[in-house]
């Protein structure tokens, strides 16, 4: 764990990848569209195993599914293949396409910066109804699986996770990776942050979809990177393991991992004609790796002591709607309707709706690095632009009291747009949520890997806000930002927190110019790439 404790690596990376008005103006970066990476990972020599297309419809209200922080099934909760397919489709499946003359752009179930889709999902399972034990890659392009290894390798993941109890007992474990070039083609060295935001968005959908099916689940970020990479046949450089998500529960422990797991030598289609490597990404990823099972156990024993800020100012308690009054819209419908808003009308949302979205976002989720709300790494600061019965201004969300604390009244639409890299969406929203975290304290607790945690947690919170907004008929979008300007706007000069992420919430407006035709897609619909 020595490299992980040398936290100057995370500090250097964060500082080097900050946006400022000057850095953006002087960037000079242009996109080589002819070299844009393929958004699909293709194994040309492996046969596809089709997933069921007649997926379960749970009917569980979206807000209820989003808000479930724990799901406890019976002692035996072994999902059938159709249930696994449900989680995969409603988290990473292709749900719609925009058709232009001569081409189509495919959109997936969860938000992704730039629609570049760097996140891949693998499945490691025992024999479950409908699928033999093995290691598989999920292919959204044909909604199927490709088998990379035959046999039960869950023991390898259990060992790599330091014998994490949920991983040990799960019949199915999803593994999330990122193909760096898909993001760095556009976002360059900063794309390592995007990996976790994009993975967090997908995980938010996974958590809600699995909760709707009463499947136990848990986000696991503590594991031996090289063991997981080796099992999947990836190199840890061009493609990196990010997280595990065990699904279900079984009373039987998996067999120990084989002593010598052979290397995989599988052909994969090229992403693009050439790639650019960004050293800061390689440095932070290597420096945040955990080297062996014992290192993972020591790392997981750490707990970040979230600090509850004390305020003398008046508190404005959140007023979320009662669960009995939740809209009937099922989680499946909310996910299918979800899309990143491109325009907001400058109209007000109700305080009840905003309160509901915020309460669900901070409700927590099962993870191996956190226990209660006190462990949350991201503090939420909110510029309220148009919310009924609440003065416009800058606020802080006091988690313990579930209340807003006003930092200053005023119309901050212009400020919000500036902070969000000059993007109008940051100011035309009803409310824009800025995530800040005490990186110094996080790195002191978890080492460099704490940087991964802070970004991943922000992505999951943002994903929950997305889903809650669409469940309520509102819109949402994730935005990037001028790092230090955000900190300067909300905090005193000597504050330690750093900007992590931004989500804008509001009343969606139709696109100013519809250049293509939006078409809904179902599992198994033909995709041209």
pLDDT in tens, 204-218: 999 999 999 999 999
Give per-residue pLDDT as tens, 402-417.
999 999 999 999 999 9
Domains and CATH numbers, the chain: 32-300 (3.40.109.10), 315-508 (3.40.109.10)
Task: Count the neighbouring beta carbons within 10 Å of the beta carbon of residue 393.
Answer: 17
What per-residue confidence (pLDDT) applies to 307?
63
Q: Would you say residue 512 has pLDDT above 60?
A: no
CA distance 107 to 19: 27
What per-residue confidence (pLDDT) applies to 493?
59
3-state secondary structure of 136: strand
Give per-residue pLDDT as tens, 44-53.
999 999 999 9
The more confidently predicted of residues 240 and 374 is 240
What per-residue confidence (pLDDT) applies to 26?
87
User: Binning pLDDT at 50, 70 and 90, where does residue 308 land?
Assistant: low
Distances (CA, A) of 5 to 218, 254, 450: 25, 32, 10
Structural contact between residues 64 and 111, judged by C-beta atoms closer than 8 angstroms: no
Phi first, then psi: what are they for 73, rounded to 5°? -90, -165
Q: Would you say residue 258 has pLDDT above 90?
A: no
CA distance 283 to 237: 10
Q: Would you say residue 396 has pLDDT above 50?
A: yes
Mean pLDDT, range 100-129, rounded to an integer: 94
Mean pLDDT, range 115-123, rounded to an integer: 97
3-state secondary structure of 383: strand
Structural contact between residues 41 and 272, judged by C-beta atoms closer than 8 angstroms: no
Q: Would you say residue 225 has pLDDT above 50?
A: yes
Give per-residue pLDDT as tens, 335-364.
999 988 888 999 899 999 999 999 999 998
Structural contact between residues 502 and 434, judged by C-beta atoms closer than 8 angstroms: yes
The single residue listed with the structure tokens 């420096």 is 287
What per-residue confidence (pLDDT) applies to 513?
47
DSSP state, 138? Answer: E
CA distance 351 to 318: 8
- Average pLDDT of the chain is 93
Beta-bridge mates of residue 431? 384, 505
Q: Would you say residue 373 has pLDDT above 50?
A: yes
Rounded to two decimals, what is the model's pTM? Answer: 0.96
- The residues, ordered by sequence, that sit 6+ positions from 246 with a Cβ below 8 Å of its Cβ are 164, 166, 167, 169, 170, 172, 173, 174, 216, 217, 218, 220
What per-residue confidence (pLDDT) applies to 73?
56
CA distance 66 to 365: 9
Most confident of 86-100, 336-350, 512-526: 86-100
Task: Give, in degrees to the nearest 5, the angle at Cα 205 between 204 and 211.
Answer: 90
Q: Would you say residue 30 has pLDDT above 50?
A: yes
Burial 324-348 (b: 16+ CB within 10 A, else e): eebeebbbbbbbbbbbbbebbeeeb
Structural contact between residues 400 and 356, judged by C-beta atoms closer than 8 angstroms: no
Task: Count the neighbouring beta carbons within 10 Å of the beta carbon of residue 48.
Answer: 14
Q: Would you say residue 103 has pLDDT above 90?
A: no
Mean pLDDT, range 480-494, rounded to an integer: 89
Residues of the chain with pLDDT > 70, as a percent, come to: 95
What per-residue confidence (pLDDT) applies to 514?
58
Structural contact between residues 94 and 108, judged by C-beta atoms closer than 8 angstroms: yes
What per-residue confidence (pLDDT) applies to 340?
83
What per-residue confidence (pLDDT) applies to 494?
59
The more confidently predicted of residues 305 and 176 is 176
Burial 118-136 (b: 16+ CB within 10 A, else e): bbbbbbbbbebeebebbbb
Mean pLDDT, range 14-28, rounded to an integer: 92
């Amino acid at each position: 764990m020595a490299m992980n404790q040398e936290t100057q690596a995370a500090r250097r990376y964060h500082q080097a990848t900050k946006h400022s008005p000057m850095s953006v103006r002087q960037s000079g970066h242009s996109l080589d569209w002819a070299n844009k990476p393929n958004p699909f990972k293709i194994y040309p020599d492996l046969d596809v195993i089709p997933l069921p297309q007649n997926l379960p419809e749970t009917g569980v209200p979206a807000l209820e599914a989003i808000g479930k922080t724990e799901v406890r099934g019976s002692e035996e909760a072994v999902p059938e293949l159709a249930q696994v397919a449900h989680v995969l489709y409603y988290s990473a499946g292709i749900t719609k396409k925009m058709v232009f003359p001569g081409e189509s752009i495919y959109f997936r179930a969860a938000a992704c910066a730039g629609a570049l889709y760097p996140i891949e999902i693998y499945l490691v399972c025992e024999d479950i109804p409908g699928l033999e034990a093995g290691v598989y890659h999920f292919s959204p392009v044909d909604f199927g699986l490709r088998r990379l290894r035959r046999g039960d390798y869950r023991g390898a993941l259990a060992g790599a996770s330091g014998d994490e109890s949920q991983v040990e007992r799960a019949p199915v474990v999803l593994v999330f990776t990122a193909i760096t070039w898909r993001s760095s083609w556009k976002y360059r060295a900063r794309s390592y942050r995007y990996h976790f935001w994009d993975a967090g968005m997908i995980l938010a959908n996974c958590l809600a979809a699995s909760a709707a099916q009463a499947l136990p689940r848990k986000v696991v970020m503590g594991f031996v990177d090289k063991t997981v990479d080796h099992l999947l046949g990836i190199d840890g450089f061009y493609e990196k393991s990010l997280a595990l998500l065990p699904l279900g529960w079984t009373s039987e422990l998996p067999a120990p991992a084989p002593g010598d797991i052979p290397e995989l030598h599988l052909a994969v289609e090229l992403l693009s004609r050439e790639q650019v490597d960004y050293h800061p990404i390689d440095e932070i990823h290597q420096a945040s790796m955990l080297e062996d099972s014992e290192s993972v156990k020591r790392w997981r024993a750490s707990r970040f002591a979230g600090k509850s800020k004390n305020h003398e100012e008046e508190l404005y308690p959140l007023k979320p709607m009662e669960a009995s009054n939740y809209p009937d819209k099922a989680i499946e419908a909310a996910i299918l309707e979800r899309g990143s808003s491109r325009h907001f009308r400058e109209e007000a949302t109700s305080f009840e709706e905003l309160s509901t979205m915020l309460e669900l976002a901070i409700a927590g989720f099962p993870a191996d690095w956190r226990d209660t709300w006190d462990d949350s790494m991201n503090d939420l600061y909110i510029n309220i632009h148009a919310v009924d019965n609440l003065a416009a201004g800058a606020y802080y969300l006091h988690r313990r009291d579930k209340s807003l604390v006003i930092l200053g009244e005023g119309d901050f639409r212009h400020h919000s747009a500036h902070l969000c890299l000059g993007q109008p969406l940051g100011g035309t929203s009803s409310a824009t949520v800025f995530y800040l975290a005490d990186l110094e304290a996080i790195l002191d607790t978890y080492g460099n890997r704490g940087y991964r945690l802070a970004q991943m947690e922000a992505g999951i919170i943002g994903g929950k806000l997305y889903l809650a907004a669409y469940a309520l008929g509102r819109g949402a979008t994730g935005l990037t930002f001028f790092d230090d300007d955000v900190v300067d706007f909300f905090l005193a000069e000597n504050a330690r927190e750093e900007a992590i992420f931004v989500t804008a919430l509001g009343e969606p407006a139709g696109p100013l110019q519809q250049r293509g035709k939006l078409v809904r897609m179902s599992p198994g619909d033909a995709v041209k790439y």
